[in-house]
Structure 1
């Protein structure tokens, strides 16, 4: 708080339509505002709709034209829940005649829900922002405690809508509403400034509060009726990118839909719509959206690449490879596409081709730890264990805290019988990510091989606690219990493993660790069921 001395968003309410679309010109509005402020002798509530740049200009003009009035500005820099205590803290508050209040929209931005047509999603929320609940409940107190004060709330249009729909008791006391749309030149300049202020990667680096500031700056512009369509389209896309960076993918999707509503051939909006749908796990719809983007811009390599990711997530690996190939034909140095192409090939059992794809990725980006790790997995599957370890070591030299590479390295070392080294690798993975269930199971298996059965059981139990449906942990725990000769516990644990993965019944008939309990009727009954 500081004291300063110096979609089409139309609504279906007649009140807001009159405010937004049938107002007199700006000069008439200003003269009416000035008359109201000059004549007012005591308490009053006035609402002014104006973008921030316009509001600053307006307040300066009022100061100049009403020198006989003591005018102050309460500038709210942070969201608030209560307004009255802040007014009470103002210096010389009993001498103030007119108090302009700016920035209250910061307390409403968390509740923005974009939508186009009618009332949109703003007004379907059940939650009332705390500041509006406070004003609804304290309107009498505001009048009684500050009978000499005329409060002038200066708001962007979206915030005025909140007052109308979410603070009706307070808003009903209004002495007037004055609408000051930004003129065309200011509107265009403000739009350009907002659009130049950042991109998706920059939005990722912002805090949640900073992203909300950007959201409300964009929304204030979108609510301007005279905003040109081309700027409206760009701003909807921009707002969607900010919501996406904030992981509010449903809200981002609504914004991208808005952009497409105004410009159906907007390939960037179709592309980002696909990304939002994919983040929401609506992969089929995402693919359709990418197809729209590619239909408009066939050389759009980002859309081909993300289309491949969505296809791969659906298990459609061959189609995914084809999509990656399209992306790479357009942009051969797209290292992420080479890596994900390798993943799809590996899933199809085409390990040698996968390794070649990973090598392409690494050739383009030698510090690409994901590709080094995936390459290690493919090498391990081909039985090339020492090469796999070397590949994991490359990944870890680049990113020492890559816990899954430590886990994968431990698996390969275990297969080579290098148990102490494997144990150390699993321990590194666990130290980096204690809730990662895989290394706990791997650690338990190594400890079992070393004859440290009680420690092994503790590790298996930890893996199961982290992932209760982890069949492999139950199975290996059963093996360990069998080695201890604990028949009842072996059968019970193996039963749990088989319930999660029925083919463990066949493994139980072959695993040498079950020799101590194999002759028991309970065990025979279980594996022959």
Structure 2
């Protein structure tokens, strides 16, 4: 009888470990990150501390917008563990979100020393440099990323952004188009490069092409307000303020604190003779502008 009780006691934690881990992974795959955090925490208690669980928990906490908690989980991974370099990469993202840019950069440089063939490391460094306005360094780092992995579509996309910021428009277009060639069929949900190129086309006065690109971005990701805003902006430039209204209104429904759609919607309403609606939209623009963060991370 005692032996049977001992077997059942041993099986209990093992079963809870397996079930919690399975639930956590399912929640993570379904982008239910708060639930993933809950289940990974339970799995860690049931399974015992392990570097792989600390890493999984840290990743889920980061995506649940809990960067400080993510750092606490990741700091428990020893430098000798295979998960150490992945942990450094996730920690750098958490540090960046917390405004600790120098620590994020240092973490990525440590990762680069340990894994010099990992293309994600110079990619992440390039993203930080770009956000800091260090565009030449961003381009250099992102060029290193695509040299390590020529099929790294996000790196090509961001290399386009870096060269656009440097005023090298033709080169930027080449990089955006390289990214589009990679994502067109193989990454049907990746929308960002279409929006980035649409934005550039607007600056160059190619408004019809800008609309087509923004519409494609919106089809790929209809929940991203920027995609809808860019489509509406292109329609305004094409003289179709009447058609732009629904794009701006949907962008605002998705993110009421996004200032720019309110502003252009106000202009569209005014052109259509809807003066009261124009005044209301302008007031909402002013309110949203006051709430908008000075730096988007």
When normalised by structure 1's length, the TM-score is: 0.48
Q: Name the structure 2 match of 1:244.
A: 24
Determine if contact 2:51/2:83 at 8 Å carries over to the other structure. Answer: no
Offset at 1:485? 5.9
Aligned length: 280
Aligned residue among 407, 415, 420 for 2:203: 415
| 1:262-291 per-position Cα deviation (integer Å, ceiling 9, x unaligned) | x6xx44444344334334433212212222
Q: In the aligned structure 2, how far is the partner of 1:476 from the partner of 1:379?
A: 28
The 8 Å contact of residues 239 and 252 in structure 1, kept in 2 or not, is answered as no
Structure 1 residue 465 displacement after superposition: 2.9
Q: Give the corresponding residue for 1:198.
A: none
Q: Name the CA distance, whole Å, in 1 between partners of 2:17 and 2:94.
A: 21
- Counterpart residue number, 2:224: 436
Q: Select 1:476's aligned residue among 258, 264, 288.
A: 264
Instruction: Tell me by how many angstroms 1:379 deviates.
Output: 2.3
More strand as a share of residues: 1
- Is residue 222 of structure 2 the alignment partner of residue 454 of structure 1? no
2:124 matched to 1:340? yes
Report how far residue 369 of structure 1 moved.
Answer: 0.9
Question: Aligned partners of 1:280 and 1:438: how far apart in 2?
Answer: 22
2:52–2:83 contact (8 Å) kept in structure 1: no
Matched ranges for 1:475-494 at <5 A? 475-484=263-272, 487-494=275-282
1:382 to 166, 176, 185: 166
What does residue 392 of structure 1 align with?
A: 176
Cα distance between partner residues in 2 of 1:346 and 1:237: 42
How do residues 35-434 of structure 1 correspond to structure 2 at under 5 angstroms?
A: 179=4, 222-223=10-11, 241-247=21-27, 248-260=36-48, 266-294=50-78, 297=81, 300-400=84-184, 401=188, 402-434=190-222
Gaps of at least 5 residues in structure 2 are: 28-35, 293-297
- Whole-angstrom distance in 2 between the partners of 1:463 and 1:224: 50
Aligned-residue CA RMSD (Å): 3.0
Q: 1:253·1:277 contact (CA, 8 Å) conserved in 2?
A: no
SS at match of 1:420: helix
As a proportion of its length, which structure holds more helix?
Answer: 2
SS in structure 2 of the partner of residue 294 of structure 1: coil
Q: Which has the larger radius of gyration?
A: 1
Deviation readout 1:38-80 (Å, 9 max, x if unpaired): xxxxxxxxxxxxxxxxxxxxxxxxxxxxxxxxxxxxxxxxxxx
Q: Does 1:497 align with 2:285?
A: yes
Q: Is the 8 A contact 1:243 1:249 kept in 2?
A: no
Displacement after TM superposition at 1:389 (Å): 2.0
1:490 positional shift: 2.8
CA contact 1:453–1:480 (8 Å) conserved in 2: yes
Which residue is 2:233 aligned to? 445
Task: Give the deviation of 1:358 after TM superposition.
Answer: 1.3
| Residue aligned with 2:159, SS | helix
1:194-227, Cα deviation, whole Å (9 max, x unpaired):
xxxxxxxxxxxxxxxxxxxxxxxxxx895269xx
After TM superposition, the structure 1 stretch with the greater mean CA deviation from structure 2, 280-289 or 398-407, is: 280-289
User: Structure 2 vs 1, CA of residues 236 and 317 (structure 1 numbering), >3 Å: closer, same or farther?
Assistant: farther
Could you say if the C-alpha distance between residues 324 and 495 of structure 1 is closer, same or farther in structure 2, counting changes exceeding 3 Å?
Answer: same
